[in-house]
Amino acid sequence: MTVHDADLRSATAPLATADPTEAGGILTIDLAAVESNWKRLAGLTVPVECAAVVKADGYGCGLEPVTRTLHRAGCRTFFVADVAEGRRARTVAPDATIYVLNGVMPGSAQAFAADHLRPVINSTTELAEWDAFVATKNWRGGAALHVDTGMNRLGITVEEAAAIAPRLQSENHGFTLVMSHLACAESPDHPMNARQLRLFRDIRMVYRGVASSLANSSGIFLGERAYCDLVRPGVALYGVNPTPGKANPMRRVVELKGRIIQVRTIDKGETVGYGAVFTAGRASRIAIIAVGYADGFLRSASTARGKPAAEVIVAGKRCPLAGRVSMDVLAVDVTDVAEGAVRRGDFATLIGDRVSVDDLAAGMGTIGYEVLTDLGRRYHRLYKGG
């Protein structure tokens, strides 16, 4: 669907270029697609509640516009990484439940009460500090308890969870959620999934009466056994494929276009860029695009000997990068594009059309999560559909 300028609204993200004529890239974020993706996942998991993970500035798409859109759509529980993100989410979702995944930093408990945020408790030391705050301030806002079932990152052990469980006999035990995190949900047949599901089932039995949550984006596609009482999709909301190796069930959210600032001709045998890693095998035309690794277009996308180059779309044709990505620019081989079809001021599509976030991530040797969360602040940001 064609989107007219009148249908687009500029972002207010810090450092975003206000004037599109000055920007090296235009980043368009489709909030209607974010909403559609959330509703699709919520529909798959009915009657289980579907939350939304909006950490890392809404996976690079803007915490406030994403949270506002999903709150209006009916989402009532959000997960963020830290208190600062929780405070931002609270401004646009005043009645939502907001969990802070990184938990209570030393001496930070009062900040949770100030904005009515709920910490995710990740250790017994953290729990002791939180309990002391709750007892002193008589605060009843609640907290989540994170039990580690195999990720070995954050969370109390299964044994510690069993030892803590008797406090549930108290009316004011303080836990509003018990949760864990899947390590290998992107690989449905990985034996770790069955192990974690079994362990968390046992935890749920011990913590009967407290809501539980296990499934992330890919976890939702493991089926009902992973749903528990609340699912918490993250990256799938933003268009990344939660089912690698299968067709992406999510709508595309992000489109990124980079401005061509020069088109130059080089002779056969000439090189392009730092390290001279690209050598023209023929007389070639090279388009220089005003996007680089300072904008989140990772240097790992660069041409290298023995490595296929990442590709972008120029004048409707897939074109490979030529040489290394620089801080502020990248070079693209447009020799196979019709003469005169590429001009200074035109735009190349870096994400969109036939290049998905996952495609670009593969060309960079990384994952869609990193591509999204590295989206640069020098782009002119446009929001549509929200």
Check if the beta carbon of residue 177 is closer than 8 Å to that of residue 210. Answer: yes
Cα first-last separation, the chain: 16
Which residues touch 229 (CB under 8 Å, ≥6 apart)? 48, 49, 211, 212, 213
The DSSP line for 85-147 is HHHHHHHH-TTSEEEETT---TT-HHHHHHTT-EEEE-SHHHHHHHHHHHHHHT----EEEEB
Quote the CA–CA distance of 192 and 249 in Å, as a whole number: 24
Name the nearest CA neighbour of 182 among 147, 211, 132, 138. 147
Q: By C-alpha distance, which of 337, 151, 374 is closest to 256?
A: 374
Cis amide bond preceding 166, omega within 30: no
- CA–CA distance from 321 to each of 265, 295, 303, 348 (Å)? 15, 16, 6, 12
Q: Which residues are catalytic?
A: 55, 274
Q: Is the Cα dihedral 300, 304, 308, 313 positive or negative?
A: positive
Residues paired with residue 96 on neighbouring β-strands, in sequence order:
none
Question: Phi/psi at 119 (nearest 5 deg)?
Answer: -75, 150
Number of CB atoms found within 10 A of residue 375's CB: 24
